[in-house]
Structure 1
Amino acid sequence: MKSTPPRWAQRLLAWLHPANTLEEVEGDLDELYAYWHQRAGKTQATLRYLLNVLSVLPPFVRRRQQPHSYPQPSLFHPDMIRSYIKIALRNLWRSKGYTAVNVVGLSVAFCICLFLFLTAYRQFTFDSFHKDGDRIFQTYLFANDPERVSRTGGMPLPLMPALKADFPEVEAAARIMSGRTSLVEYRGKYVDKMVIQTDPDFLTLFSFPLIKGSSDVALRDLSSIVVSEAMAKAVFGNEDPIGKHLLIGSEGNKKQYIVTGIIADSPDNSSVHYDALVRIETAPNYQTDKDNWYANSHRVFIRVAPDVDQTAFEARLKPFAQKYFANTIQDLRKKGAKPDERSDVFAIRLQKLADVHFDRDISNGKGAPIALIYVLIGIGVFILSIACINFINMSIARSFTRAKEVGVRKSLGAQKHQLFGQIWSESTFICFIGFVTGITLTCLLLGTFNSTFQTKFTLTYAFQPGFIAWMVGVFVVVTFIAGGYPAWQMARFNAVEVLKGKVSLKRPGLLRNSLIVTQFTMSSLLACCTLIAIQQVDHLRQQPVGFDKEQVISIPVGNQVNGRQVLGRLRNRLTNDPTVLAVTGTSTNLGKGKDRVTSRSTFGFTYKGKQITTDWLLVDYDYLKTLDMKLLAGRDFDPAYAADSVNRVVVTESMAKLIDAKQPVGAFIRDDSDTTGAKSEIIGVVPDFQLYSVADEARPIAMHISNREDIHYVFVRVAPQSLAQSMDKIKKIWQEVAPQSEFLGSFLDENVDGWYQNEQAMSQIFSLAASIAMLLSCLGLFAIALLVIEQRTKEIGIRKVMGASVVNIIVVLSRDFVKLVAIALAIAIPLAWFGMQKWLDNYAERITISIWIFAGVGLASLLAALATVSFHSIKAALMNPVKSLRSE
């Protein structure tokens, strides 16, 4: 039976408050009176009732005197904001543990996201500084070869002039030929710089500012050179470079240039890098290949008119391709090539400048795969989501411990928007502290990040307007989601039910369980991907590369000395050294050495109607011996045969199969269209070996010797004993035979590891992300378990009194959380298997995903969750039941 207040108390309330304005208050107070009457007796209930009446009296008395002029406080009123801040700081200070857990989780998440999003932002802003970037394209050749669809950015020299002549909508076009650095000499000073060959349109096609000189005349003459700011300072110091003469090239092959302009340095996020620009006509092979449509040696960029559509322009290029590449198209059709979905067997196509960096096929393998960038963003979102889930779960869990506070506030007249503002302000404080701490951690760890992932980030990247807007947006979204939802939930509490004790955390809600499942799904998914990526990297490293990479020292020659002369001197010094087994030279390094230079020379020709593209590798005598490569047929290069250095080659097994000769040794390879009679005789066949990374297209290899071409690397095979001493000895000898060149020797096995740099970086990122994700997930579970067990203190005491053992109580308290982790694993494992299968499909050599990886991750996740929850469960189970029941 419902108890009601005494009539005199009701009349007092009716006199003080008009019924039409206090219906909700009266109803609430009546229900509170009934509740207190049942619990504490009539007299005490009446007194509590009057106290509540008096507590709401002042504002409503004013309202009675001025019925329609009482101002409702605004959520954003300065006085309200100050009040929110004061109360928020007090509450956070009283709940130091709750605050610390959330701040640590958010700061770590923000720090990781700053690094990952900074990396992604840099990649997505590549080439964005060009004024007409949306109208600039790089051309590439597409061939729907039955053996393998190919896309290459290497263009023949006559293509660009033909494009400008045949298509008036091409406003500007430039060829860019770049390779290794060149030796620059000025008044006895020598520096290595990247000098690229290009066309005069380069200065108007791109938006690199010309600081001195005129874009119309700077590259007008073949003897003109435009230098970058950095090169001008390094070479000329404080002198004015304009009009000065420079010598460029190695000894015996130097050319003189006159400085006609200074151009700004190319930004780090540019697809085109340079130290100086010269005319492409000065390239060594220009005169012989200027009309050759089958010698691909450079990249071509064009800018089209504003109203030109890319698809329509590519359609107009079809007759152009049929005109100039008729033989190539005919050869492809003979091989059985079929038109693709765009009806092309062979085509010239365009790639937007903004996308060139992501296209490894046409950017000389220097681009970053866009899929990897999206993976980085996804990992950042995962980490931030886990931190937000922790924040939401803990805020909701904590809201039940503050439920009576909210109930009293509402019964005293607080509005929902006021409660929302108060609680959200506390969440905003925590997010802000976490955000600032995350930024501080980023600044402190920037050097470590750069050294680990071989990047060159500086703090200036983080202060770019676009990135600041991006991160502010992330902060606002996190604050709105992580703080707004719990505040909204608490503001909706019913005051009467809260004060009656009907709102508690003893029963797990669907939202809380869903969030816990989500965060453990993310962390388990990252853990599975990490183990698979690590296994794939180890698998790639263990694959045979076709040569013995152990005990071989690779030494970059540099541009300040003649490679052939240095190789000869080194051979003479090491001939009688018992610890040196062989010495040779080559034009291309194996792996990535300390000079970080990667170059590639290819040779394409038509052989008996078949289009063949091979890696054209310059070597010296004893190359096979130094790398311990065995001959399958024929012989090695021999100084006793003078013709070996003119027109003879040693080819790999795959090259021998392409020419389809029963006896490849003694066969001749030549271009069907070559009427000069030039040909090369095959004198030996070796097994296929890895000349470049597995991420690059594998081609057959033809090795040749030439006395006219430069040697860029020296290989020295040493005895297995005392490798460190051998390196020191060769370094000392190198300083004697090549004093002008810095010694950058490294072992080939270290260089080959550099091929898998991207895969290694990916596995490191996955490892770091998985560790942090699991740590944050367990941290959130730790706090949730603490709050839940605090709510169940009375239940635990009763169970112990009834005879439950410690193990029984631990099982009861832990099983719900373990079930959630098991559900998360059931979701994460299939997703990990599917995603990593797609990733592994990019590799010719790949692992088979083992079920034990998922079993290990599942067991580790369950044990981590069980250990996290058990800490509180054991503590609660060992509590004295009398104490827990009394405190309850």
Structure 2
Amino acid sequence: MFKNYLTIALRTLWRNKGYAAINSVGLSVAFCISIFLFLTAYLQLTFDSFHEEKDRIYQAYFFSNDPERASRSGGMPMPLAPTLKAEFEEVEAAARVMTLRKSSVAYQDKRMDKEVYMTDPDFLNMFSFPLLKGNKETAFSDLSSILISESLAQTLFGNDEPLGKVVQIGNEGKQKGYIVSGVLADAPYNSSIRYDAFIRIDNHPNFTHDQANWGSNSHKVFIKIAPQAKQATLENKLKLFSQKYFSSNIEVLQKKGAKPDKLGDIFALRLQPLTKVHFDTEISNGPPIAIVYALMGIAFFILLIACINFINLSVARSFTRAREVGVRKTLGALKSQLFVQIWSESTLLCFIGFLVGVLLAYQLLPEFNTMFNAQIKLAHIWEPGFIGLIVGVFFMVTLLAGGYPALLMAKFNPVEVLKGKISLKRPGFLRNSLIVMQFVMSSLLASCTLIALQQLDYLRTRPLGFVKEQVISIPVGNQENGRQVLKRMRAKLATDPTVLAVTGSGINLGRGKDRVTSRAVIAFTHKGQQIQTDWLLVDYDYLKTLQIPLQEGREFDPAYPSDSLDRIIISASMAKAMGGQELVGSYLRNEADSAGTKYQIIGVVPDFHLYNLSNGVIPITMHLSNTESIHYIFVRVASQNLKQSLDKLQHAWKEVAPQSEFIGTFLDENVNEWYREEEMLSQIFSLASGVAILLSCVGLFAMALLVTEQRTKEIGIRKVLGAGVPSLILLLSKDFIKLVLIALCMALPLAWFMMKQWLNEYPYRIEISLWIFVAVALAALLITFLTIGFQSMKAAFMNPVKSLRSE
């Protein structure tokens, strides 16, 4: 039976090669794009899900119901983790996790920058990173122990035994030896913690000072709760804990007029489940989960458009097969047999489309990963969760695309069919609805794409408070002393007329090739009020290099030795938080400084953005230091021949920092990297809308072809009676144009509403312009007319004698 169904299906498809080709091409393209999008979303949704006890692991964060804006922060004080474990029986394990930036790792003559974390022994009992070598119980028993990743072990030691070997961690002159006590498997791509090595957090330079300091928030804290414990119950107990250890924070918020939130908290310590940490944009660097849902929605949109094409063509073609169905029924075929036979043809087409789609995905995977900076692999297709998703989608497509036409044809009345009473002279409600749905989705994607691109362009071009053009940012790395490199660089470039200014900083602007982002926040006391501010280490000529003007006071000057000790420059937002103007000469006291150091304000500058615009304007305090490390060097160059200036700096770098690789970039390039997620989203929208429009046009063209074939006799009669070519083209086109107009009336308001909600997430955003919707509407109508115009003109110019004779 199955063999007969398959044979008949193959013969039918071979006789209708054009129909089969249109459907298989449409489905293969849809499956290819959907596989990419589903894989991308699947990897994001499975972040941290590989940990065996993920449902019991949480990250601690602070909630602050500030009157200006409620906020959350993942930075924790050093004594928090051990105190939680000591005071709550529900807390089974607690681990602090802190990064050492890109730290230098050395063994014999090998030296490289790697991601080194500091943590507690409980870390190995919480997370399921496989320990390939070593003992989990003793791997962190000593302060000089280090756990390294499998790839780092291979790089440093090759095939030699790594256990017991001594590696050096730290910059030149500040290195410390650690004994390899274990080798961890490399972290998978979908892990929030991606490491090269771990050492004990007790090795932090300020550990002795900070281990009892509740005011210095410097790291993340993860806890594992007991099996019977509940998150809500523990968070309720943490209310009293917050009042006990963070009473000063609560008092400051109360003085500012803060009110309790719906849970009754002004300031609270709360818990975020590990599986949700990746998508929490406030306490981690992951993407918003809305982007992942958008990817899945787009994938379903594209598949649905392909299914609509399939259904429309199948329904239209069913009437050319009506006589075949009538004969089969007359000869005794059952409805179920006809349904299975016709559905098997659709299933075979879908299967061919799926196979071709997988092959296309395999061929185009490198280009997709490059375009969207993705890390997907087709090997993930064989994971159980993804297999279930793909099988479900495949059966949904075959049932949706093939099931209805098969059911429709199986219900044909054989008597009426053989009498020739079944025809399709006018489009039915189903076909019209499907075409409208198709163009609703296409127009929706096109509108969202244009708005996303406009918002991205706005973010990239909005003034940041500093001049990013003509400034080259050079990460120093960990192989050299940043202060010495800056000194040598200034001397080297002092006589170069194309170099306008040189300075250094503790953090980068934008995101450079080292991919490192960092942030330091401290609290000052002013007139009894606590003020939080970003603490920015700069060097002389910072304002000059970035062309940040002064509103009051002066810049740091080598002529004033005290500038490097206790002088600061603040931003306008910091001045506003202090509640006044003419602040030059006033003092601030650092809350976390046990020595009670007072810092004097010597200047005020306009607000500028250290981070991307989604953070809004934040208070900034700049300071000098003779001891803190300079991690980045900024060089402003003349506008003539920027490429040559970059090459010149690279050549100079080999002399001033021979141990460090030159990975300098222009600041405007770094700033563009802030908006990688928005760019990825706009690119995906662009790709999806392009594919959706293409598939819609293919389906529309095929429908126009079938409709004109069915109306050949009508067209011939109209021509004989004197109808002109323009009137015939209008006759054949107007029904489709009406459907597109209906689709636009549905899609454009929906696009406006959806993108309005998306834009509300940005402190700086565009106003949606009417011209975007006008452009989409005109483009949709033009594409529709061009798509069906060719077939309409061909039918209108046909010789009526020939068409009537053929009928």
Query: TM-score if structure 1 supplies the norm length?
Result: 0.90
CA drift of 1:490 comes to 0.7
Partner deviation per Cα, 1:854-874 (whole Å, 9 max, x = no partner): 111011111111111221111
Partner deviation per Cα, 1:640-669 (whole Å, 9 max, x = no partner): 111111111111111111122432111111
CA drift of 1:675 comes to 6.0
CA drift of 1:90 comes to 1.2
Partner deviation per Cα, 1:176-208 (whole Å, 9 max, x = no partner): 011411111211321111111100000111111
2:245 is aligned with 1:324: yes
**What is the rounded CA distance, in whole Å, between the counterparts of 1:716 and 1:200 in structure 2?**
43
- Give the structure 1 partner of residue 532 of structure 2: 613
**What is the rounded CA distance, in whole Å, between the counterparts of 1:873 and 1:403 in structure 2?**
26
- Give the structure 2 partner of residue 659 of structure 1: 578
- Give the structure 1 partner of residue 401 of structure 2: 482
2:251 is aligned with 1:367: no
- Give the structure 1 partner of residue 271 of structure 2: 350
2:763 is aligned with 1:879: no
- Give the structure 2 partner of residue 56 of structure 1: none
Residue from 138, 149, 152 that aligns with 1:231: 152
**Residue identity in the other structure for 2:678:** E
Partner deviation per Cα, 1:643-700 (whole Å, 9 max, x = no partner): 1111111111111111224321111111468663311111111111111112346421
Taking only aligned residues, the RMSD between alpha carbons, in angstroms, comes to: 1.2
Contact 2:40 2:374 in 1 (8 A): no
**What is the rounded CA distance, in whole Å, between the counterparts of 2:222 and 2:741 in structure 1?**
54
Residue from 504, 507, 519 that aligns with 1:588: 507
CA drift of 1:623 comes to 0.9
Residue from 90, 103, 114 that aligns with 1:193: 114
CA drift of 1:605 comes to 3.8
- Give the structure 2 partner of residue 729 of structure 1: 648
**What is the rounded CA distance, in whole Å, between the counterparts of 2:526 and 2:277 in structure 1?**
32
**What is the rounded CA distance, in whole Å, between the counterparts of 1:206 and 1:473 in structure 2?**
32
CA drift of 1:420 comes to 0.9
Residue from 52, 64, 71 that aligns with 1:143: 64
Contact 1:294 1:605 in 2 (8 A): no
**What is the rounded CA distance, in whole Å, between the counterparts of 2:132 and 2:594 in structure 1?**
48
Contact 1:608 1:672 in 2 (8 A): no
**Residue identity in the other structure for 1:542:** T
CA drift of 1:703 comes to 1.0
- Give the structure 2 partner of residue 782 of structure 1: 701
**Residue identity in the other structure for 2:554:** R
Contact 1:137 1:302 in 2 (8 A): yes
**What is the rounded CA distance, in whole Å, between the counterparts of 1:504 and 1:748 in structure 2?**
67
CA drift of 1:773 comes to 0.6
2:124 is aligned with 1:203: yes
Go from structure 1 to structure 2 and tell me whether the alpha carbon gap of 1:849 and 1:457 turns closer, same or farther (over 3 Å shift): same
Give SS of 1:178's match. strand
Residue from 401, 410, 428 that aligns with 1:509: 428
CA drift of 1:94 comes to 1.3
2:310 is aligned with 1:418: no
2:25 is aligned with 1:104: yes
**Residue identity in the other structure for 2:697:** C
After superposition, residues 733-752 of structure 1 pair within 5 angstroms as 733-752=652-671
Partner deviation per Cα, 1:58-106 (whole Å, 9 max, x = no partner): xxxxxxxxxxxxxxxxxxxxxx211111111111111111111111111
Contact 1:607 1:672 in 2 (8 A): no
CA drift of 1:421 comes to 1.3
2:218 is aligned with 1:297: yes
**What is the rounded CA distance, in whole Å, between the counterparts of 2:376 and 2:568 in structure 1?**
45
**What is the rounded CA distance, in whole Å, between the counterparts of 2:573 and 2:361 in structure 1?**
49
Residue from 626, 630, 646 that aligns with 2:545: 626
Contact 1:661 1:667 in 2 (8 A): no
Give SS of 1:401's match. coil
**What is the rounded CA distance, in whole Å, between the counterparts of 1:510 and 1:222 in structure 2?**
75
- Give the structure 2 partner of residue 251 of structure 1: 172
**What is the rounded CA distance, in whole Å, between the counterparts of 1:623 and 1:521 in structure 2?**
52
Give SS of 1:664's match. coil
CA drift of 1:763 comes to 0.8
**What is the rounded CA distance, in whole Å, between the counterparts of 1:355 and 1:643 in structure 2?**
47
2:601 is aligned with 1:682: yes
CA drift of 1:257 comes to 1.3
**What is the rounded CA distance, in whole Å, between the counterparts of 1:642 and 1:459 in structure 2?**
60
- Give the structure 2 partner of residue 804 of structure 1: 723
What is the percentage of aligned positions where both structures have the same residue?
63
Partner deviation per Cα, 1:771-817 (whole Å, 9 max, x = no partner): 11111111101101111111111111111111111111111111111
**Residue identity in the other structure for 2:28:** S
After superposition, residues 253-652 of structure 1 pair within 5 angstroms as 253-363=174-284, 366-652=285-571
**Residue identity in the other structure for 1:856:** A
**What is the rounded CA distance, in whole Å, between the counterparts of 2:559 and 2:603 in structure 1?**
16
Partner deviation per Cα, 1:689-729 (whole Å, 9 max, x = no partner): 11111234642111111111111111111111111111111
Give SS of 2:398's match. helix
Go from structure 1 to structure 2 and tell me whether the alpha carbon gap of 1:425 and 1:367 turns closer, same or farther (over 3 Å shift): same
Go from structure 1 to structure 2 and tell me whether the alpha carbon gap of 1:191 and 1:671 turns closer, same or farther (over 3 Å shift): closer
**What is the rounded CA distance, in whole Å, between the counterparts of 2:154 and 2:71 in structure 1?**
42
Unmatched tracts of structure 2, length 5 or more? none
Partner deviation per Cα, 1:192-238 (whole Å, 9 max, x = no partner): 11111100000111111112222222111211111111111111222
CA drift of 1:249 comes to 0.6
Contact 1:212 1:262 in 2 (8 A): yes
**What is the rounded CA distance, in whole Å, between the counterparts of 2:488 and 2:596 in structure 1?**
37
**What is the rounded CA distance, in whole Å, between the counterparts of 2:187 and 2:41 in structure 1?**
20
Contact 1:606 1:673 in 2 (8 A): no
- Give the structure 2 partner of residue 23 of structure 1: none
Partner deviation per Cα, 1:346-390 (whole Å, 9 max, x = no partner): 111111100000001111xx1111011111111111111000010
Residue from 152, 160, 166 that aligns with 2:87: 166
**What is the rounded CA distance, in whole Å, between the counterparts of 2:434 and 2:530 in structure 1?**
58
CA drift of 1:610 comes to 3.0
Residue from 823, 828, 852 that aligns with 2:742: 823
CA drift of 1:460 comes to 2.3
2:137 is aligned with 1:213: no
Query: TM-score if structure 2 supplies the norm length?
Result: 0.99
**What is the rounded CA distance, in whole Å, between the counterparts of 1:172 and 1:698 in structure 2?**
38
CA drift of 1:122 comes to 0.3
Give SS of 1:226's match. strand
Go from structure 1 to structure 2 and tell me whether the alpha carbon gap of 1:720 and 1:835 turns closer, same or farther (over 3 Å shift): same
2:760 is aligned with 1:835: no
Contact 1:692 1:698 in 2 (8 A): no
Go from structure 1 to structure 2 and tell me whether the alpha carbon gap of 1:283 and 1:675 turns closer, same or farther (over 3 Å shift): closer
**Residue identity in the other structure for 1:834:** F
**What is the rounded CA distance, in whole Å, between the counterparts of 1:91 and 1:673 in structure 2?**
80
**What is the rounded CA distance, in whole Å, between the counterparts of 2:617 and 2:94 in structure 1?**
31
**Residue identity in the other structure for 2:407:** W
**What is the rounded CA distance, in whole Å, between the counterparts of 2:530 and 2:270 in structure 1?**
20
Contact 1:113 1:380 in 2 (8 A): yes
